[in-house]
Amino acid sequence: MEQESVVQYEPVAEIGGGAYGTVYKARDRDSGQFVALKSVRVQTNQDGLPLSTVREVALLKRLEQFDHPNIVRLMDVCATLRTDQETKVTLVFEHVDQDLRTYLEKVPAPGLPIQQIRDLMQQLLCGLAFLHSNRVLHRDLKPENILVTSRGQVKLADFGLARIYSCHMVLTPVVVTLWYRCPEVLLQTTYATPVDIWSTGCIFAEMFRRTPLFCGESEVDQLGKIFAVIGLPSEEEWPNDVTLSRQNFSPQNPQPITDCVPEISEKGAELLLEMLTFDPLKRISAFNALDHPFFTE
């Protein structure tokens, strides 16, 4: 009986190995619709399904009730027993063919018109503001998990999964990209909703550039590339509780952001700088970003 729900979905293709395991495209035998299957194997100890998994999946189910247009639909959740110690939880999401990465690759030469960037950004921030107001961090925002439908509708995917996975998965040797990671995570201090705003800033710049803004190869390299653009933060701004000291980086002054993103408008540059602010507490929030003059200029 427990197998029933999984049999309902017939795998069609493997679509990318995400950081957390393989994702399958499948067909719902009932509706004929395509779906994306994401599975996580959880250790079931003597307390049954771990508390964090129960809470996180329940939270995803709860978010689903809001039917937000910029959030990918969670259509079903299945759980199957693999062994006595392991349960497989499968999350069934709506399937969208295209992500922002492929969308940007397909854009012809002069790049995206600014109106289109404005529209994409507004939808992205709406989705993010919704998650943040429900106390959900995305934590891994990047063009690969921002989906764009054929009608140009933006849908955030993979939010909240980080927490479900992180505690209970057998680690896979997949390299997670550093390019959209904010300084506070790179420096391993505490973090909150501003992490997603940093990533959004990087993606905002990428919409104009059509190549990533900061392509670091290690944590230190990533920080160096960031400081080359926003300047080395002052001694006071540098967090106290980190192992990496400020002296490891050469002093640099902030570069005009328009050197990196020449096509950006004046208001766009202002918004971008507010998103790429070193101090997470001074970084703009998703709500306030939506009210930024960039969207009305």
Q: Which is nearer to other proteins, 67 or 235 (CB)?
A: 67
**DSSP-assigned beta bridge partners for residue 27:** 10, 34
Q: Which residues have CB under 8 Å from 297's CB, separation 6+? A: 265, 266, 267
Q: How far is the CB of 199 from other proteins (least distance, A)?
A: 19
Catalytic residue at 140? yes
Stretch that binds other proteins, among 50-58, 178-186, 257-265, 270-278 (CB under 8 A): 50-58
Identify the residue among 46, 150, 211, 243 touching other proteins (CB under 8 A): 46
Residue with tokens 């921030």: 125
Q: How far is the CB of 161 from other proteins (least distance, A)?
A: 14
Q: How far is the CB of 259 from other proteins (least distance, A)?
A: 27
Query: Radius of gyration (Cα) for the chain, nearest Å?
Result: 20
Q: Which is nearer to other proteins, 130 or 198 (CB)?
A: 130
Stretch that binds other proteins, among 97-105, 115-123, 237-245, 269-277 (CB under 8 A): 115-123
Cβ(100)–Cβ(143) under 8 Å? yes
Give the torsion through C-alpha atoms of 99, 55, 178, 247, to 10 deg.
150
Residue 57, Cβ neighbours under 10 Å: how many?
20
Alpha-carbon span 88 to 2, nearest angstrom: 11
Residues 268-287 that bind other proteins (CB under 8 A): 287
The count of chain residues that interact with other proteins, using the rule CB under 8 A, is: 49
Residue 70, Cβ neighbours under 10 Å: how many?
20
Identify the residue among 55, 82, 210, 282 touching other proteins (CB under 8 A): 55
Stretch that binds other proteins, among 18-26, 122-130, 219-227, 244-252 (CB under 8 A): 122-130
Alpha-carbon span 41 to 181, nearest angstrom: 26
User: Given 84, 97, 99, 140, which residue is catalytic?
Assistant: 140
Residue with tokens 């719902």: 28
Return the SS3 of 206: helix
Q: Which is nearer to other proteins, 105 or 291 (CB)?
A: 291
Q: Is 130 in the site for other proteins (CB under 8 A)?
A: yes
Residue 193, Cβ neighbours under 10 Å: how many?
20
19: left (phi over 0), alpha (psi -120 to 50) or beta: alpha
Residues 142-181 that bind other proteins (CB under 8 A): 151-153
Alpha-carbon span 117 to 36, nearest angstrom: 27
Identify the residue among 28, 86, 94, 119 touching other proteins (CB under 8 A): 119
Q: Is 77 in the site for other proteins (CB under 8 A)?
A: yes
Q: Which is nearer to other proteins, 56 or 206 (CB)?
A: 56
Identify the residue among 7, 30, 32, 67 touching other proteins (CB under 8 A): 67
Q: Which is nearer to other proteins, 2 or 10 (CB)?
A: 2
Q: Is 43 in the site for other proteins (CB under 8 A)?
A: no
Sign of the CA dihedral 251, 255, 257, 259?
negative
Alpha-carbon span 154 to 157, nearest angstrom: 10
Alpha-carbon span 224 to 218, nearest angstrom: 10
Catalytic site positions: 140
Binding residues for other proteins (CB under 8 A) = 2, 5, 44, 46-49, 51, 54-55, 57-58, 60-62, 65-70, 76-79, 81, 84, 87, 115-116, 118-119, 122-123, 126, 129-130, 133-135, 151-153, 287-288, 290-291, 295-296
